[in-house]
Amino acid sequence: MTVTGVAPPAAAPPVPAAVTARVTDRRSARAFVDTHVAPYADAYDRAGRVPEELLRRVAEAGLWAPFLPPEAGGAGMDWVTLGEVHEEVGRGCSSLRSLLTVHTMAAWTVQRWGSPEQRERWAPAFAAGERLGAFCLSEPGAGSDTSGITTTAAESGGGWVLNGVKKWTTGGQRADVFLVFARTAASIGAFLVPRDTPGVQVRPIDDMLGTRASMLAEISFTDVVLDRDALLGPSGFTAGMVLTGTLDLGRYSVAAGSVGIVQACLEASAAYAASREVGGTPLAKLPLIQAKLSDMVTDARAARLLLAEAGRLKDAGEASTIMATWVAKYFASTAAARHASEAVQIHGANGCSTDYPVARYYRDAKVMEIIEGSNEIQRMTIAGQADRERTG
Amino acid sequence: MTDTKSQILGFVRDRYPQAEITESQDIFALGFVNSLFAMELVMFVEKTFGVTIPNEELRIDNFRTANSMSELVSRLLAEPAVA
């Protein structure tokens, strides 16, 4: 593996305190985020990365893949609770939540589609955070249009040879293993590619609009030789299901993070509105500000309920969870973008500065409308559901 | 028609109320299946009949018709579960 074009960070981000308790639910997640994440998130944003110490704290808290079963080193956490946990992380830092999202996608894919040997090799390391995963789907010429990917995996000598370029890979600068989607002769396959495999080249992408500390990268694969067991899941017509299922979890986590952004906007705006006065009157007493706050409260609750319903359906193994997750992600991400804009508006010039976190929320929220399927793709899919279920 | 077949047909008809599908009709030939529906179909079969479909059984011929899916379920229920 080669790394090119590494830019020095703007400043070394601060080191969070030691972890004293594992995260098992929303309450413990909130405590973890309030102690270890939220106070430093603006510094991470400015530094363009999260420090290794925070990644270790996340591991100590058992946050990397708590949904994995205990025999794989996880805690068997249900999806409703995982959604609540990712919401809390997203409330504090969308960049860290993004790292959790792609790691979740890699870990779940191994657990769901991997052979017993593949699960034994990767799942415990994913659960412990000893190996961090990243998700490689988008390319320079293909984002939400997954049918346009051109990276290929050709069968050769009993294994595979991978060629292509992946872009906008969250956590790519740091991940130890990449879950790469590539064209095979039959369809699209999922391949686990360790970072140190010869022919893998990582180019950091810095200075993005939002989630600036999520350590994005462009990953090139040049004649990368992989063993036969690098392929995860079935080949043939159902290979697309691996991608569908992986993206479903990505959307679920992004929806949760978006709810967290709305909640963060609400908390920041309510605090600011209570303390800031205009003509001797607190902003919180002004009807136009009250309207913004009331909409934040309402949408936070609505988005949270949509997320919880998608999680409940996942826990029940119900097929309808996929569409429920589309709806939750669409609603929550648009709400996050809308309310982050209003949060900046409430803060006025202060909201445009680095003195308050709402500018970061605003930049991060825009990203939520694009990743794991743009909102335009989401609306097409949701409308497609309405069309296929019509009875007339 | 067995209960398994009727439940499978019920699921497909629920997703596509405007379509008329029989137990022997090839749903792929009818153009119904995309990766989203394939995933939903697999989740439905696993949830409804309490089976885990191993990767090697995720073949197109096992999912073409309600008949073939019913046979897959019967085969999996007859086999000891593999982790």
Reported as a single tens digit per residue, the pLDDT across B8-29 is 999 988 888 877 889 998 888 8
Residue where a domain terminates, one of A175, A207, A235: A235
Cβ distance A317 to B60 less than 8 Å, yes or no, reads no
- Asked if B35 has any chain A CB less than 8 Å from its own CB, the reply is yes
Shortest alpha-carbon distance between residue B13 and chain A (Å): 9
3-state SS record for A335-382: HHHHHHHHHHHHHHHHHHCCCCCHHHHHHHHHHHCCCCCCHHHHHHHH
Q: Can you give the pLDDT of all 392 residues of chain A as single tens digits?
A: 555 554 445 566 676 777 778 999 999 999 999 999 999 999 999 999 999 999 999 999 999 999 999 999 999 999 999 999 999 999 999 999 999 999 999 999 999 989 899 999 999 999 999 999 999 999 999 887 777 899 999 999 999 999 999 999 999 999 999 999 999 987 889 999 999 999 999 999 999 999 999 999 999 999 999 999 999 987 666 677 888 899 999 999 999 999 999 999 999 999 999 999 999 999 999 999 999 999 999 999 999 999 999 999 999 999 999 999 999 999 999 999 999 999 999 999 999 999 999 999 999 999 999 998 899 999 999 998 888 777 65
Which CATH number fits the domain that encloses residue A109? 1.10.540.10
Q: Do A175 and A249 reside in the same domain of the chain?
A: no
Count contacts between A and B (CB, < 8 Å). Answer: 65
Catalytic residue at A372? yes
A17 near A35, Cβ under 8 Å? Answer: yes
The answer on A243 and A369 residing in a single domain is: yes
Nearest to A332 by CA among A344, A324, A320: A324
Best mutation site among B14, B27, B30, B43 for testing chain A: the one with the most A CBs within 10 Å? B43
Best mutation target, A113, A115, A241, A381, to test chain B (most B CBs within 10 A): A241
Half-sphere exposure of A249 (CA within 13 A, CB side): 25
Instruction: Among A115, A236, A317, select the one facing B46 at the smallest CB separation.
Output: A317
Give the closest residue to A131 by CA, choosing from A81, A72, A211: A72
Domains of chain B: 3-13+26-78 (1.10.1200)
Pick the last residue of a domain from A86, A106, A132.
Answer: A132
Task: Pick out chain B residues at pLDDT < 70.
Answer: 1, 80-83
How far B81 CA sits from the closest chain A CA (Å)?
13
- How many domains is chain A partitioned into structurally? 3
Whole domain around residue A73: which residue ranges? 2-132
Chain B residues closer than 8 Å to A113 by CB: 55
CB contact under 8 A, B35 and A241: yes
The residue of chain A with its CA nearest to that of B61 is: A237
Note whether A119 and A140 are same-domain residues.
Answer: no
Q: Are residues A94 and A216 in the same domain?
A: no
- A118 with A146, same domain: the answer is no
Integer Cα distance of A344 and A360 in angstroms: 10
Question: Are the Cβ atoms of A238 and B59 closer than 8 angstroms?
Answer: yes
**Residues A185 and A118 occupy one common structural domain:** no
Q: Are residues A245 and A257 in the same domain?
A: yes
Q: Are residues A243 and A297 in the same domain?
A: yes
CA distance B40 to B16: 13
CATH of the domain at A379: 1.20.140.10
Q: Between B16, B38, B44, which is nearest A241 by CB?
A: B38
| Domain-terminating residue out of A212, A235, A258 | A235
The minimal CB distance from A322 to the residues B17, B36, B58 is found for B36
**Cα–Cα distance, A289 to A283 (Å, whole number):** 6
Q: What are the φ/ψ torsions at residue A142 (nearest 5 degrees)? A: -150, 120
Q: Are residues A187 and A208 in the same domain?
A: yes
Q: Are residues A119 and A145 in the same domain?
A: no
CA distance A360 to A313: 32
Task: Please judge whether A319 and B35 are an interchain contact, meaning their C-beta atoms are less than 8 angstroms apart.
Answer: no
* Degrees, nearest 5: CA angle B9-B11-B17: 85
Give yes or no for B26 touching A (CB within 8 A): no
Q: Does A186 share its domain with A279?
A: no
**Are B36 and A244 spatial neighbours (Cβ–Cβ below 8 Å)?**
yes
A240 and B15 within 8 Å at the Cβ level: the answer is no
Do the chains contact at A320 and B40, CB–CB below 8 Å? Answer: yes
Res A315: pLDDT: 97
CATH code of the domain covering residue A212 = 2.40.110.10
pLDDT of residue B83: 42
Of B40, B60, B63, the CB nearest to A322: B40
Does A262 share its domain with A364? yes
